[in-house]
Amino acid sequence: MDDWRWMTATALGQGIGIGSIDPVALTETFLSAIAAHPHRDRIYARVTSDRARTEAEAASARAKAGLRRGPLDGVPVSWKDLFDTAGTATEAGTRLMAGRTPDADAEVLRNATAAGLVCLGKTHLSEIAFSGLGLNPMTATPPNVNDADAVPGGSSSGAAASVAFGLAVAGIGSDTGGSVRIPAAWNDIVGFKTTHGRLPLTGTVPLCLTFDTVGPLCRSVQDAALLTAALEGSRAPDLSHATGPLRLAILDTVAMDDLRPEPMSGFNAAVGQLRAAGAEITHINVPSLTDSFAKAGLLYTADSWAWWRDTIMANPDAMFPQIFERISAGRDVKAADYIAAWAILRRIRATYAAKTAAFDAVIMPTAPILPPNAQRLLDDADYYKAENLLALRNTRVANLMNLPALTLPTGTPSCGIMLCGHTGQDDRLLRVGVVAEAALG
């Protein structure tokens, strides 16, 4: 049964379907592993054992009666602690929301429950989800699977750790600037950022409503497809007939600058494997993309400050200073500047879409750096700022351009390759991802 902890959600769902895996036994395997794990309290903010057992028993009964609700009915997953859970605290990684207990589930959790997924509990995150590093001295910093002294990536830090350490089949996270893809890459799993607006945000504590997205962290592209469909309440696309050869573009603008040796090596090796599998790969530049980065700071902080300001100013000392400093920059943004920046960003999005239309995906290293040392980040404020901006630089391309994006492991520890698709064409990117995943082994 311990092998179940390392299987894909797809395989476990198939096992439940043929009767070789009982959802109750599967859920108990994960609950026991969580209880016994030395990093349990650094990964899970709260374990919802009673809910998990009730949902597993119902899934087991449906399986025996031949009434399964979908391919993942009975599969246990974790939830980032910004998705509302009825009767269970949802605190968004901040003391500002300590004890906040919603009356209803977030819409994506309701959809997932209706599809039969089992809720194991709530995972830790960067405070209010506003960091790509995963460092959170105010609640907990989850571990990195490859380096005990390093941060796990954020903001969906506990979501990634729950999967990487075998304490959930998959984790459901959110991504505003890279918060699914960075922790997925740094913990050698798959992460999928959906197009903004694809999945509902109702009942999700926001960071930045104009950029927030929901997405899974898991073990395969097929898992990502099935999980996304469950979150949406839809049918997953058929990926079984996805074929190459792929036409891919390496984005040279910004994304290939200042790469550390390991991410560069991992990316180059992955590109070599894709070429060996028949992919046609060329280099492109989109010079105007640099202007979108220049506007990103005011767009993100103004949106975030508008929602969070009253809560923060009621108790600003309760926040990690790095997060407070970052979000409070939004209070100085003028409305005219914000509106003008959005007008510029829309023009850049149109230029980017035209430049990349002929390609199946645009590729780049998921992050230009390895996970930084947690203690150094705490001790050196300037280092924290520099590493956080670098960590999120490449992933933010997809958020600014409103693209679906997928990160896959390269085989080099904590180094992912990111594939960015076309706005609204999430299912097409998943088909591209299946082909790329096979090429990467």
Q: φ and ψ at 234, to 5 degrees?
A: -130, -175
Q: With beta carbons less than 8 A apart as the criterion, state whether 195 and 428 touch.
A: no
Distance CA 185, CA 367 (A): 8
Q: Would you tell me how many other CB atoms lie within 10 Å of the CB of residue 288?
A: 16
Q: 128: phi > 0 → left, psi -120 to 50 → alpha, else beta; which?
A: left
The DSSP H or E segment spanning 342 is helix 335-356
Chain-centre distance for alpha carbon 158: 11
Residue of 252, 242, 248, 263 whose CA lies nearest to 362: 248
Q: φ and ψ at 418, to 5 degrees?
A: -105, 135
Q: Which of 179, 292, 328, 414 is catalytic?
A: 179
Output the CA angle 319-323-325, nearest 5 degrees. Answer: 100
Torsion sign across C-alpha atoms 176, 177, 180, 183 = negative
3-state secondary structure of 322: helix
Catalytic residue at 131? no
Note the residue count of the chain.
441
Q: Which of 155, 157, 304, 414 is catalytic?
A: 155
Place of tokens 């679906």: 404
Q: Which of 80, 122, 295, 355 is catalytic?
A: 80
Catalytic residue at 80? yes
Catalytic residue at 32? no
Contacts of 318 (CB under 8 A, 6+ apart): 94, 95, 96, 138
Structure tokens at 346: 């829309």
Distance CA 215, CA 278 (A): 29
- Active site (catalytic) residues: 80, 155, 179
